[in-house]
Structure 1
Amino acid sequence: LLEDDFQFTFCEGCRQESPNLKLLTCLHTLCLDCLSENQLIGQCPVCQTAIPQASGILDKDNLLFTNLQAKLKVYKKIVDGVDLVCDNCKKDGEFWCSECKEFLCIKCFEAHQRYLKRESHEAKRVTDIRAGSAKDFLEGTRTTGNLSCSNPNHKSQTV
């Protein structure tokens, strides 16, 4: 069900989830494997628009899709209950803060609320997130245009 709702975040060539989605000049998104295959043909597999060989656009990550994929990965982790540990002390993670992008145990959650509540950090209980839908989770993590760079050397830098 989750995959059906978010098919648009997959590669438009192979229809698979990929951490390296590239944005073409025609605004279609391909993974590196499909891009390599179709660069030889010279056309986008979706609309047959020519893929410019020398254009820097092929180096452009599709940051919107990459960030959506990262958020959906967290949601899947919460739903599956896999590796939910506090990012601070490694105890059971019972809360998720979408601003900090961290799981929190009860003790760290209390400290978080005390020090960051005034800064609009609202950590939510994992069980409440699990009871909702992926769309609800994405809505709750929406910020005003803050996309993170997908380059691992630019970790947690906002675009």
Structure 2
Amino acid sequence: MAARINNFLLQNLQCPMCLNIYKEPTLLACSHTFCKGCIFRLFNSQQEIAKISCPVCRKTTAVPSRYVSNLPINTPIQTIVEDIKNQSQICTTCKNKSLAATYCQECNDFMCVDCYKTHAKWDKFSGHDVVKVDDIVSGKITTKHRRKCKTHRLEVEECFCVECKKYVCFRCGMMEHTKAGHNILEGMEHEDQQKEKIRELQNKVNVKKGKVDEYISFIEKQQQSFMSSRSN
């Protein structure tokens, strides 16, 4: 299931220029979509004063008032991207809010691709058990959460604090986090909730993918109609 979602991301939500998930997906007249930042850099590098040439099909798009921000946002794509970022597991190592690709069983951290590369280079992390998020969600791998609590050395971090977004031992959960009004879950309960969110996300993606396909079909028909009227 998670693999199918990732395939959908790569095939439909990946900017053809930077190859990352869309940021402010901006639509050109040819119906191709790119990150606004990518279009801005492309526009500044081209010779045309008020037009931009699509790097995929080479068709030109007029840039209103020569401001890339005046180009339309691809709203269906933007909505799907926001849903995915809101409901998917986010990297807990950096502040970029990128989608997590792996999970370190020893560090108890989810990592995006860039953080994983950094983690893999450090000698002190050598030997850590790093698993794919896909394998956790699919149930192929069950996370261990056997890291010892730094405060209570004999306790294992087997609970999860919803507000702090981290695993804690039972004593820390009861003595510190609960007193602060935090919601404490069993580790397995938290993981089950994350899996359910992924299932809900897939259903939303399937529905919105259908809407995106309809939108693209509509644009293509409009283009065909426009080209037909020009030829007449």
TM-score by length of 1: 0.50
- Larger Rg belongs to: 2
Higher RCO (C-alpha under 8 Å, 6+ residues apart) = 1
TM-score by length of 2: 0.36
